[in-house]
Amino acid sequence: MVVAKVPGKLAGALKGFMARQRLRAELSVLDDRLLADIGIDRGQIDGVVAGRVRRDAKVLLQAQALKDAANENAAARTAA
């Protein structure tokens, strides 16, 4: 039945929306130098999040590593 699939589809849509919002927030906190390192500029963040600007897996892994390093640096500054 179509009605039975609605809650699952809504949950999937919400999960996707939240993942995109999280990615947008994570990219937005990176400085311009880090964004350039992963091959995008600040004006492309929405396009990357929406999937209009494609990035291969290597670039995405580099972005994650840069984000992790930035978080570690921020934590170290806060602790000091």
pLDDT at 3: 61
- pLDDT-based confidence at residue 77 (cuts at 50, 70, 90): confident
pLDDT at 71: 82
Q: Is the dihedral of CA 10, 47, 69, 39 positive or negative?
A: positive
Whether residue 24 contacts residue 45, with contact meaning beta carbons closer than 8 Å, is answered with: yes
Instruction: Decide: residue 14, CB within 10 A, 0-12 exposed, 13-18 middle, 19+ buried.
Output: exposed
pLDDT at 29: 92
pLDDT at 21: 92
Q: What's this model's pTM, rounded to 2 decimal places?
A: 0.58
The pLDDT of residue 57 is above 80 = no
* Residues of the domain holding 32: 2-79
Please name the residue that has the structure tokens 């990176």.
Answer: 30
